[in-house]
Structure formats: structure tokens, C-alpha cells
């Protein structure tokens, strides 16, 4: 049985290493730690497995999720067919999904400065609201990149989907933007 780690690595650090976001001395220190620490090495492998599973679901268009710019770059590098819709707060767009689209991205512009937690509330037509809490986002970016499940979108009839982006903090929440997607199925699909 190995000893407990005296300085466990944060999950965010392990995921950044797995995603290739660490460089130079930071990467070297982390890798030295992993070589000498069974506990962190096991956690790193577990997190990598979960992250790879999520990435696989995003690649297949089977999962609705917010994605970071590094994921978008990776999908582009892999040659994935990406359909993108960029909206500013208050805007709407006519949208669809082609049979060739691997991923659809809703790029929701918003002022994310000072935001510590980001939620999105989604409503299709007059149906119930779905809230997805604590989305991953780049606080220095000026947008949230949301990838809805492409397979689900392909099967849906014409509908209007509204998304409301919320900044949440201990004092409450504030609306950063509202966005409307008027979806039409691909002709012949």
C-alpha cells in the first residue's frame, strides 16, 4: 500500500496536463510528481478516462455540453465538420443541422468578466426549462461555446429554442444574454 500524497495535484491541473495545456517547467514538475506519486497518477488516469469518454461523446454529437476553445481547436484539427452559430445577446438565428455535420456550436457572446459560475437555461418552444449549472468557460473569452447533441437536434421537428446565460454568485444571478435559435430540419432528412 502506498503512502498518501502530501501535496495532491488539483483535478483541474491534471486535466490541463492531459489536454496538453501545460508547458515547460509546469509540465516537467507535474510529470515528475506523477512518476513518484501513485495516488496522483491513479487519479490522473481516472480523470483522463472520464475526459476521453466525454470527448468521444462530443465528437459523436451525442452529448450537450459547453466546450472550451481547446476542444474546438482539437475538433477542427481532427477535420470534424463543424456548423457554428454566433450570436450576441438579444439575437436570434435561423438554424439547421446537415447530415454531414459532426458538431454544432452555439457561440454565445457575453461579458464574462468577473463571472465565477455560469449557468444556461434552455427552453424549447413552450416546454419546461432545463437548467445546466456550473458550465466550464474561459473567463478571458467573450463567449460561451455550447455544443448541443447533434443526434438529438437531427431528430427534432421545427422548433424555437431559447437560451438564457446566467452569471451566478452568492448575491444571486444576473442575465448575461438571451439567444433564440429557430430550428428547421434539414430538407429530406
Q: Cα separation of 153 and 156, whole Å?
A: 5
| C-alpha to C-alpha distances, 39 to 14, 22, 58, nearest whole angstrom | 12, 20, 29
The C-alpha cell at 63 is 452529448
- Tell me the whole-structure pTM to 2 decimals: 0.70
- pLDDT per residue over 109-164, tens digit each? 999 989 999 999 999 998 999 999 998 888 888 999 998 888 888 889 999 999 99
Q: Cα separation of 158 and 161, whole Å?
A: 10
- pLDDT per residue over 54-100, tens digit each? 666 555 555 567 787 777 888 888 898 999 999 999 999 999 999 99
Better-scored residue on pLDDT, 26 or 165: 165
Q: Which residue has the cell 477542427?
A: 76
pLDDT number for residue 74:
82
Q: Cα separation of 40 and 33, whole Å?
A: 8
In CATH, the architecture of 64-183 is Sandwich (2.60)
Task: Count the residues in the chain.
Answer: 189
Sequence spans of domains, the chain? 11-56, 64-183
pLDDT number for residue 30:
83
DSSP state letter for 114: T
Amino acid at each position: 500500500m502506498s503512502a498518501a500524497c502530501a501535496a495532491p495535484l488539483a483535478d483541474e491541473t491534471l486535466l490541463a496536463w492531459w489536454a496538453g495545456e501545460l508547458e515547460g517547467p509546469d509540465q516537467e514538475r507535474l510529470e515528475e510528481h506523477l512518476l513518484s506519486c501513485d495516488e496522483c497518477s491513479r487519479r490522473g488516469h481516472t480523470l483522463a478516462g472520464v475526459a476521453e469518454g466525454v470527448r468521444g461523446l462530443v465528437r459523436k454529437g451525442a452529448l450537450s455540453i459547453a466546450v472550451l476553445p481547446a476542444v474546438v481547436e482539437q475538433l477542427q484539427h481532427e477535420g470534424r465538420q463543424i456548423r457554428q452559430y454566433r450570436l450576441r445577446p438579444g439575437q436570434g438565428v435561423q438554424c439547421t443541422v446537415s447530415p454531414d455535420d459532426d458538431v454544432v456550436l452555439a457561440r454565445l457572446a457575453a461579458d464574462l468578466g468577473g463571472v465565477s459560475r455560469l449557468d444556461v437555461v434552455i427552453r424549447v418552444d413552450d416546454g419546461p426549462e432545463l437548467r445546466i449549472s456550473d458550465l466550464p468557460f474561459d473567463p478571458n473569452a467573450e463567449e460561451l461555446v455550447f455544443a448541443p447533441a447533434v443526434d438529438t437536434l437531427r431528430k427534432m421537428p421545427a422548433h424555437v429554442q431559447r437560451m438564457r446565460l446566467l452569471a451566478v454568485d452568492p448575491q444571486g444571478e444576473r442575465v448575461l444574454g438571451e439567444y433564440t435559435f429557430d430550428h428547421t430540419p434539414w430538407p429530406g432528412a
